[in-house]
Amino acid sequence: MDLKEKLLSSFLVFENQVDIDSYVHDVRNDAIKIFEEKGFPSKKEEAWKYTSLNKILKEDYSVFPQQENAIEYKDIKKYFIHDIDTYKIVFIDGKYSSHLSQTTHDGIDVCLMSSALTKPKYRILIENYFNKAATKDSLSSLNTAFSSEGAYIHIPKNKLVEKPIQILHFSTGNESATMLQPRNLIVVDENSHVQIIERHQSLNDNPVLTNSVTEIFTNKRAIVDYYKIQNDNSNASLIDNTFIKQKKESVASVHTFAFGGKLTRNNLNFFQEGERIDSILKGVTIIGEKQHVDHNTLVHHIEPNCESHQDYKGIFGENSTGVFNGKIIVEKEAQKTNAFQANNNILISDKATINTKPQLEIFADDVKCSHGCTIGQLDESAMFYMRSRGIPEKEAKALLMYAFSNNVLSSVKIPEMKQRITKIIANKLGVNLGFDL
Amino acid sequence: MLKIDDLHASVEDKTILQGINLEVKAGEVHAIMGPNGSGKSTLASVIAGKEEYEVTKGNIEFNGEDIDELAAEERAHKGVFLSFQYPVEIPGVSVTNFMKTAINESRKAKGLEDMPAKDMLKLIREKSELLEIDRKFLSRSLNEGFSGGEKKRNEIFQMAMLEPKLAILDETDSGLDIDALRIVANGVNKLKNKDNAVVVITHYQRLLDYIVPDFVHVLYNGKIVKSGTKELAHELEEKGYDWIKEEVNA
């Protein structure tokens, strides 16, 4: 049985476990139909031209991991940003782990999707927001159909959430292959500010496929800073579908640090529904081996006087492949839009590949849109310069790569997060530079 | 200290150096002059270990050791320093962090621990004062947006930090106004002692009024065609290079 069939039949089993007499289940039902009709995307589709899911779909995934798997904090501490106080929502094989989490209902809700989807007090919010940002593509629909668990965050108006919130999804690999479909909903009301860090981590080498959907609603003048750490091991694949709806004068930023995993596809979508909105999309990708990272971004400018800033840096070694497909749509009403997009890449191996494609659809006439992509090698004259000062080749390369990523790193607002990323990069490059940039 | 014997070097099959002989002893200052395209910068790069250049014949000895096969960083660790004609911009790496890395990598190569942060700061303060460099300057990205003069001053600052045995200054005077020239020359002179040596590569005699050479060599078509004392530099300033070319071609 192929994965699609398996999922479709699993849906019937899934329905036995949930309340089918609800708004949410109507949404699920519609979603499974879309998935049934469309199936998994293939390379024939323009948006999937450079990324093939064929190989990773061949595994015999367990769709509902059975066991309750306990992990000790000490074994996974390193995956947390642990030197500062944070809220934590932790999942192990898709199931909530209360002993690893630190949630709250004190003025804000940092808790579970499973509660939000079932408890009456969340009903209105769910009806207003659940699946209202996600598009009806097949993978998001697949996630919607099975949506039952994930992070639920609601920040009411005028709250400055001082502690960052970490969302961590672990897979134990106790089953030979696991498919996970976390569903996150984040609603940030007027004037509030929140910082969120998300990470997916498998704990052994068994194949894992995560098809995640995160919906973020940034209401009037709200600020959301979202950080994604993607540094999974070489049999873990991630399809990350993130949808952000912004209301007027809000600022939303997403930083994606893609350093690992087998195949990573980031579908990052911003919808601007108000004036004077700022959307920020930044990423650093450093991969090697046969890793594949695909950033597929969309910024939809719908109203006037808004901005978007995209800055993606990629360093590709060995046989790795990278894809950047950045789409900007500026609607006719969206006059005075400022949209910037940059994608700079360095290939450090002859066998590495990068496909980069800007896509601009502009229907307004008074806009500033710029895009630029570069593909190059490490600057030889800079290498000689540094080496002539006594910095060995490997360290000189690392220093150049840091420097290359620095534009993106420098906009990370949580210092501990920045240090962590710097450390991951140093580890990846096998150097110790003794300072943070 | 430096002994170059019949050095031939080429880049992309084009022979540029065609038999250089040069000996520089500790305590000496040598000037290498010559018209454009004579091979001055190539000589500097070959000594420093730039990989694009292939040494096809001859050898370079540094303190009694053949360094032809050594990587640029290994030569640096042994005390060779090249001040670049065109210092490279490295956005995202501050001057301070760059120097910390360079110094600690050199120490690591010698089996020493990292320099304690306190000592490093003291050294940076001391040397930046010597070159009259504003402290704010040190937190800027290396050479990025620096003026020509700032870049050259920064090169000599790095030289002061690294305290090389042999410093090769490639066209350090180009792009400098007279005040900057004086600061740079003053820095070089203060660093000069009986145990180290300086090779000044220049087009003009101007810098040599400040950094006074013991020997002056003229490079032409990849060879040293004439050597003398500082008077030779004055003569070249006055008469240009044509008479040398005529002498060689005769």
Confidence of residue A68 (pLDDT cuts 50, 70, 90): low
CA neighbor of A53 nearest in space, from A64, A36, A40 = A40
Position A437 scores a pLDDT of 43
Q: Which residues contact B241 (CB under 8 A, 6 or more apart)?
A: B34, B35, B218, B220
Average pLDDT, chain A: 93
What's the longest Cα–Cα distance across chain A? 72
Confidence of residue A312 (pLDDT cuts 50, 70, 90): very high
Domain of B149, CATH number, reads 3.40.50.300
| Torsion angles phi and psi, residue A98, rounded to 5 | -70, -35
pLDDT (mean) for A280-308: 97
* A207 within 8 A of A56, measured Cβ to Cβ: yes
Question: Is the pLDDT higher at B136 or at A133?
Answer: A133
* Interface test mutation site (partner B, options A284, A388, A393, max chain B beta carbons within 10 A): A388
Q: How far apart are CA B166 and CA B108, in angstroms?
A: 20
The answer on pLDDT for A69 being more than 70 is: no
The answer on pLDDT for A72 being more than 90 is: no
Q: Token pair of A189, please?
A: 């009301």
Position A143 scores a pLDDT of 97
Question: Around Cβ B221, how many Cβ atoms within 10 Å?
Answer: 16
CA neighbor of B69 nearest in space, from B83, B52, B55, B57 = B55
Query: What secondary structure does DSSP assign to B213-238, as a single string?
Result: -SEEEEEETTEEEEEE-HHHHHHHHH
Average pLDDT, chain B: 93
pLDDT digits (tens, 9 = 90+) for B135-169: 888 999 999 999 888 999 999 999 999 999 999 99
Number of domains chain B contains: 1
Confidence of residue B92 (pLDDT cuts 50, 70, 90): confident
Position B176 scores a pLDDT of 86
- Say whether residue B49 is in contact with chain A using an 8 A CB cutoff: yes
The answer on pLDDT for A435 being more than 70 is: no
Which residue(s) pair with A95 in the sheet? Answer: A92
pLDDT (mean) for A191-198: 98
CA distance A433 to chain B (A): 7
* Interface test mutation site (partner B, options A284, A344, A374, A385, max chain B beta carbons within 10 A): A385
Contacts A435 to B, Cβ<8 Å: 97, 100-101
pLDDT digits (tens, 9 = 90+) for A56-66: 999 999 888 77
Q: Which of A338-342, A404-408, B150-154, B213-217 shows the lowest per-residue confidence on average (mean pLDDT)? A: A404-408
pLDDT (mean) for A37-43: 95
CA distance B133 to chain A (A): 19
- Say whether residue B127 is in contact with chain A using an 8 A CB cutoff: no
Out of A72-86, A288-302, B178-192, give the one with best mean pLDDT: A288-302
Percentage of the residues of chain B whose pLDDT score is greater than 70: 100
Give the count of Cβ contacts less than 8 A between chain A and B: 90
**Predicted model pTM:** 0.87
Query: Smallest Cβ distance to A390: which of B84, B93, B105?
Result: B105
Percentage of the residues of chain A whose pLDDT score is greater than 70: 98
Position A374 scores a pLDDT of 92
Q: Which residues contact A120 (CB under 8 A, 6 or more apart)?
A: none
pLDDT (mean) for A102-110: 95
Cβ–Cβ of A435/B105 closer than 8 Å?
Answer: no
The answer on pLDDT for B182 being more than 80 is: yes
* B127 within 8 A of B160, measured Cβ to Cβ: yes
Position A433 scores a pLDDT of 63
List b or e across A207-221, with b for residues whose CB sees 16 or more CB atoms inside 10 angstroms: bbbbbbbbbbbbbbb
Q: Which domain covers residue B196, as residue numbers?
A: 2-249
Identity of the residue numbered B167: A
